[in-house]
Structure 1
């Protein structure tokens, strides 16, 4: 997918002009560029944190030289590289075509000649890559491009420079995508060294994905997927019979049982039998070890997976198999600490960027995340577990008995962006998040987490000053956050707005907001008034509630529909954030009864009269004094009111109002 350059992106690397973005992964950003001869190229710019590492530069130089030896048979040719540039970059052939991921997502699983072409093309590429002494290490559908001329495999070999650089990659950071990683990547008893057989295993998983739209070991989490890779047979249902046997051979647990890439290609082109290559597997230490040793080994693998996959939370939910045994250490738990209480949804917390003393903040529902200094309830959240995922509820409207607001992902296709915004607290694809323990700690020794959604990882774009949910390649390259305990239990809240007919019983008793400052500004409270525009508007337009429930400033006289009363808004507790908040109540005609009606900020620029709901944030209006003569600005949950010839507008109108007391 081609995307425009972002602010801060370079426009030139070496002799290449950068035109737009092709993608971003764990190793760096990929740009479409133009060479000096006018031809299109793809340029991978390495992430800045690798650039200062001499060890990485040396390995990068070595791996690029080896990758240049790969003949361009179904591979994107390596054209150029500059390991000494800051940052280093790699130039490869530009392939004008979708990835296999995009193709299957948009058109569905492949079959017939299309599927055979993918299987043959990838096997051809692996034969060329392995023939040059290179291992891909990160073969996945996203690295298989489908062009007019056939299949092109990209990003081969370079992963090793990242994976083996000790400064950046430790035992808990591997390059690869879990669904396509061979057993030996997780458990060394299957093989001490990663060989070309790991790419063959990935071939089997990629072909399964191409034919069925799923991977052969797909689990509910990365850790569950890894455990299936280690312990379960592959699910190859849906693969056509001529291909299924060869895929199952490629997915053998032990590397020695898998065919080579060349054997795959010969079988695909020559119609040879697709049975596994008859190489006896090595003895499995788990099969011959005594039960105690076998259990210790299995437990060690579980612990390793929980760290490797950033699955601290997954481990807590899915891998603690001993918890049912009352004599086990897990059952004899120590008192709950702050972090455990946060993850259980029992404590409020703030989300701090691990690279700065800044915190994520949701100012009001529907708006995008911002950064703050961490003070106030707008920078506080609480987790609500939904299976192994979470709703992340904002406490920004804690001062009101209002509908709850949770974090969600807003897709903006035109901007190629997916910011995090305030959303209704309903479990959906856009509002469910998972937390992955990174294994790292911040400067104060606290564990850090990355935050994942179905659309990608939650990132903070410093240049654009906004959040962006995007794929980053591997979990270890996602932004890291600290869950900062705010030391208070989460108040009991109602899952939905309270009924107008029933008193609010959830949480602390509602109290009046502090509106004492308004009295000194000659703003009439608690008595019938008309709310009018200032004389600067050319005329006095009255706030008018029409019989159909709409609200505007078209009134020009004191009538039943223009008579209002300002009252303090109901809040859970008084804070600076809800000071000078009022409700605007329609004064009913004499002799009528029934619930009061309040001016409600339904959505931006749209006001309506609705039954008053104590504490509803959409009925809470912030009066901002504009001088000492009774003028004020009027700001609701969605709308900063401006008026042009009686109509409420987004810009270009008048924003100063006043009250005038009238008889009831």
Structure 2
């Protein structure tokens, strides 16, 4: 709710016109303001007693710089700041919506999809925040806002500047609300420093509050609440079974026993179909936590999550009778990764940072671990490996592997994207070096040039000699699931997919598409709209990959749009088509169709009538032949050629061409 400005309030800060008050807290006041182009923003103005402290200004400047690097999904974007202004201020995206506190007060605890959306949305926001090297430190229901299209987490990134300025912050003035504070923030015996794990603990409290209307350690006073956080198990009665196990893990007393924000997302997706409830680990006394017991507990929880999600070794578990078939013995994911049978991400030690590769020739970099750029596959070559990047998964182009770039006279030997050819530079050893500080299996990665490390100051990788593997930098291999599905051999003949009832397939109703000037049944090129910045055509390649990089009418860009074969003409199957490509070479066999293999993985595969993965829904966008294209898993977007999950340009059109 916006309140009028008070006497003495500023009416302008820099180029921003202040139009009202949004609130006030221990750090300062929050104002609603308007930019020169009439956009509404929120401005946080620091209290004068903080502003006069040079130490605070330095920390404020540093923290704001890091907060501006947080991707603006599920968070209120940091737009501007002036640490040198008197007083300093911060400009963030204005979110016009109620807080989680207000919503629960008004409507009661959340249930079903609404509760799941809050849990996933906050975990997504924390993944973005932590990926930029920022700790929120004050996650609570009042900082979770409901905006159009989803939730937004606010007030992240600058709490440390206030909390770390010791002359202004005593023990009883610690930034945050006691009910949402992790044990290590209250007692150093649980953790010598505050890490991103504190935000994960707060996530567990917030989700429990959203589900029940109360906090799991709530007491009659902040002191009682703090004691319960340190000594008692959480009371999460009323939290749905599908979320209870994840919340229990997030509320573990010790930081190392909690999942990361990224792992929270994985567990939440698994809990959509199966409960991921784990037995809470026995809490050791703060003075002497038994490391071995903690490692066993974490490993057991991780294994349980994989088993309940049916992901171990790619096998789904099912009950059998004594006379039925015996289920295959599940394969440990780590064993499958080392055998080159599963994809993985390479985590840097005990951090939430992962190696990523943008493409061929690019240097290895770090990210928050999202997307195929941060996923790899081991390709065994004798006792060594090539490490293949999945950065171009679903796109055209040769495979890319990691390789050491040696430049005479250079101080660094970085790892870059290189052709997947076994050489001295691309063959790596992956050596078991025990466990990391959190009890996870750890590995060193090296070759004849030395061992891989990450220089955080220079923000680049380097390979150099350190002696034996145990003295090298340690990494963990984080399982990311099954390998990409390869395209069937070109000689495979299309086989119609029979319906469950045996009914004959019929053409989908595409009459609306004809009325909107979308070319059907004739050779066409499918191109981006003109405002995308170029005539990029949908193009197929002999290896089955597709992209939007074609610029000429060739055999690889010529397509034919035909009605999809469906079991029954209904509203749901209306405007579904198959997109058929002419084989580029005679040896390619019969016609191939654009196939939505899985999310954002598109390939040309032999046409199969009735295959839902080859049925594309064309939705007219206006009356001039423009359309949006949605498959079984993917809403196609394109930006300068590549196919994207979201963003970019979503409107396409057809242009008829000669045979």
TM norm structure 1? 0.42
Higher-Rg member (1/2) = 1
Which structure is richer in relative contact order (CA contacts within 8 A, separation 6 or more)? Answer: 1
TM norm structure 2? 0.42
